Amino acid sequence: MKIRIFRTEEQLADALARCVVQHLQEQPKLVLGLPTGRTPLPLYRALVARHAKGESDYSNVDTFNLDEFVGIAPSHPGSYRSYMSEHLFRHVNVSRRRTHFLDGQAKDLDAECARFEDRILRAGGIDLQILGIGENGHIGFNEPAAELSPWSHLVKLTLASRRANAGFFGGKLTDVPKEALSMGMSTIMHARSIVLMATGKRKAEIIAKTVSGAITTRIPASLLQLHSKVEILLDEDAASKLRSEGVVTSRGGRVHER
């Protein structure tokens, strides 16, 4: 795992945006896996700003979002499709038919998960998967459990995850759906490269466990230790509980190899 630590979340976002734009320039048919939540918002702002400057072309890009709520329409303001449209898609030249979501309104949710996995395969697999992390170590909506699901699946959301998402539903916990569809751990681990971003003190504890703790289904993000191409991008706050040995200074953030 390569860990890069930035002074602020804006610096982190800018470095990652630069890296995404570079990927796009080298590989116009990039297949991107994308997260929602508060953490990626500065990244999406930075990507939109770079696009406005003419640095990027999304016309041949496919995107796959990690997860979506069950039972709400794509046009619902709390849906992850609405989030992506508001923060990224309507500001760049990505084609709507190339932005892929699990459909939480599908009649047969198992068939929908299979369709989504098949769509990823037909796109050639995910080149770059960007992730956030929940305070309990979830990635996508793969919540801590005795067993994890490998492929896209239906998830019963924990109260903590519903609370964390209440902000996207006008602060009303009762409006947050109780279920979601999420990529599974294998869907994520099959991406050719993975970047996990975390910012703020609230994430410091789980980041230390994810990076240096035991590999366990009780901390789904810890499985990333098994992937050969993972970068963890942190601000100083999220990095504050990492042991400091092995941290060296380099351009674009301190780099800490594990």
Question: Three-state DSSP class for 237?
Answer: coil
Please tell me what DSSP assigns to residue 50. H
Provide, rounded to whole angstroms, the least separation between the CB of residue 207 and ligand GLP.
12
Q: How many Å apart are CA 70 and CA 182, to the nearest integer? A: 10
Which of these segments, 18-26, 129-137, 230-238, 240-248, binds ligand GLP (CB under 6 A)? 129-137
Question: Three-state DSSP class for 129?
Answer: strand
- Among 165, 187, 210, 222, interactor with ligand GLP by CB under 6 A: 165
Is 184 a residue that touches ligand GLP (CB under 6 A)?
no
Whichever of 149 and 247 has its CB closer to ligand GLP, that residue is 149
Is 79 a residue that touches ligand GLP (CB under 6 A)?
no
CA angle 134, 147, 176 (to 5 degrees): 40
Asked whether 71 and 155 are in contact (CB, 8 A), the reply is no
Q: How many Å apart are CA 72 and CA 175, to the nearest integer? A: 10
Whichever of 99 and 161 has its CB closer to ligand GLP, that residue is 161
Q: How many Å apart are CA 174 and CA 197, to the nearest integer? A: 29
Contact positions with ligand GLP (CB under 6 A) in 4-23:
none
Please tell me what DSSP assigns to residue 142. B
Is 130 a residue that touches ligand GLP (CB under 6 A)?
no
Whichever of 152 and 165 has its CB closer to ligand GLP, that residue is 165
Is 224 a residue that touches ligand GLP (CB under 6 A)?
no
Q: For tokens 């309990």, what's the residue?
A: 136
Whichever of 3 and 102 has its CB closer to ligand GLP, that residue is 102
Whichever of 9 and 14 has its CB closer to ligand GLP, that residue is 9
Please tell me what DSSP assigns to residue 216. -
Is 132 a residue that touches ligand GLP (CB under 6 A)?
yes
Residue 160's nearest CA partner among 198, 182, 190, 133 is: 133
Is 91 a residue that touches ligand GLP (CB under 6 A)?
no
CA-to-CA dists, residue 16 to 131, 191, 194, angstroms: 12, 17, 12
Query: Which residues are identified as catalytic?
Result: 67, 136, 138, 143
Residue whose CB is nearest to ligand GLP in the complex, by number: 132
Is 39 a residue that touches ligand GLP (CB under 6 A)?
yes
Q: How many Å apart are CA 109 and CA 128, to the nearest integer? A: 26
Which of these segments, 94-102, 126-134, 212-220, 242-250, binds ligand GLP (CB under 6 A)? 126-134
Is 134 a residue that touches ligand GLP (CB under 6 A)?
yes
- Among 58, 69, 141, 169, interactor with ligand GLP by CB under 6 A: 141
CA angle 101, 183, 226 (to 5 degrees): 140
Provide, rounded to whole angstroms, the least separation between the CB of residue 250 and ligand GLP.
26
Residues interacting with ligand GLP, by CB under 6 A? 35-39, 66-67, 132-134, 140-141, 161, 164-165
